[in-house]
Structure 1
Amino acid sequence: MDFATADALNQAIRLLSLRHRARAAALLAPLGLHPGQEALLLELDRTGPRIQAQLSDALGCEPPSVTLMVKKLEASGHIRRTPAPTDRRATVVELTDAGRDLAGAVKALWCELADETVAGLDPATAAGLPAVLTAMTANVDSRNRAHGAGHGKGVKRNTLTQ
């Protein structure tokens, strides 16, 4: 890929990321949430109770970030923590009734944000975006590189530098 194309692609991704996060923050603020907390609530809503290490993996966050989110959401009454029955070092996190209600409100906001984000796009293009963006994320996921996985599908490696 030439520099002009690479620059245009990287700038577009960077700006989308920044603006999407800012818009999400604006939508979440009236609910008393900060970006990232909604992902934790939605993960618990999807999966049920989880230990914090599982949440960290699922959210792609460092454990200290999850711990801070959990503490704030527990203080606001949206989640509760209990010791894991099989491992006293682990903590199980689950939604409270208030947390389930908040997750429902977040789902509505998430639909609104998604509609805003894809406004004006052909429906078929919009429907294909999750798969494309997931593949792009996998291509740059440092966790894949740390575990010795190859580069993303379709990425050519320079054999002269290996």
Structure 2
Amino acid sequence: MTATPNTVILDQVLALTTLFSADMARSDNELGLTPSRTHLLWMLQTGGPQTQRSLAEAMSVSPRNVTGLVDALVETGFVTRETHPSDRRAVLVTLTSTGATTMSRMHADHEQLADDLLRDLSPERRERFAADVATVTATLAKLIAAHEAER
């Protein structure tokens, strides 16, 4: 069967996704993390200390799931649980110095990878590529939402 131009592009995107996933898994493994734990750390890095409830909502997972993630991150020294300053029933999850250093390094690695990947594209091609990726991402999100609505 002959591939159409669109399926060739889709296959390239899937290959890129596979490479990114493998690279992220390697990086997470080196740090003793999982994708879910890394996601939680990124949320703390970008949003500051948060309650477990707000983390669960933002990650679209159950509070019990977040409790397990936070337990593991506390045990490995990436986060702490601290008393909420205005709600004595709530607990804030906060990056430790180890967690903050790790996330700073991940951010720097992220920036370097972006520079390395896009180095050979002119500013105009980067702008067009960003717009095209945004369009494809939005279309995929709509297709997924429509599929979910049908179920």
After TM superposition, the score normalised by the length of structure 1 is 0.65
- 1:23–1:49 distance in 2 versus 1, CA, 3 Å: same
62-71 vs 42-51, greater mean Cα deviation: 62-71
Work out the CA distance in 1 between the residues paired with 2:26 and 2:43: 21
**Contact preservation (8 Å) 1:37, 1:69:** yes
Measure how far apart 1:115 and its partner are. Answer: 2.9
What amino acid sits opposite 1:123 in the alignment? P
What amino acid sits opposite 2:7 in the alignment? D
| Equivalence for 1:51 | 51
Q: How many residues align?
A: 144
How high is the sequence identity, in percent, across the aligned residues? 25
**Contact preservation (8 Å) 1:49, 1:95:** yes
What amino acid sits opposite 2:124 in the alignment? A
* 1:137 partner SS: helix
Output the aligned Cα RMSD. Answer: 3.4
**Contact preservation (8 Å) 1:41, 1:95:** yes
Work out the CA distance in 2 between the residues paired with 1:65 and 1:38: 14
What amino acid sits opposite 1:122 in the alignment? S
In terms of fraction of residues, the more helix-rich structure is 2
**Contact preservation (8 Å) 1:21, 1:35:** no
Work out the CA distance in 2 between the residues paired with 1:50 and 1:95: 10
Q: Does 1:40 align with 2:40?
A: yes
What amino acid sits opposite 1:31 in the alignment? L
Unmatched segments (≥5 aa) in structure 1 = 149-162
* 2:4 partner SS: helix
| Equivalence for 1:20 | 20
Measure how far apart 1:36 and its partner are. Answer: 4.1
Unmatched segments (≥5 aa) in structure 2 = none
**Contact preservation (8 Å) 1:79, 1:96:** yes
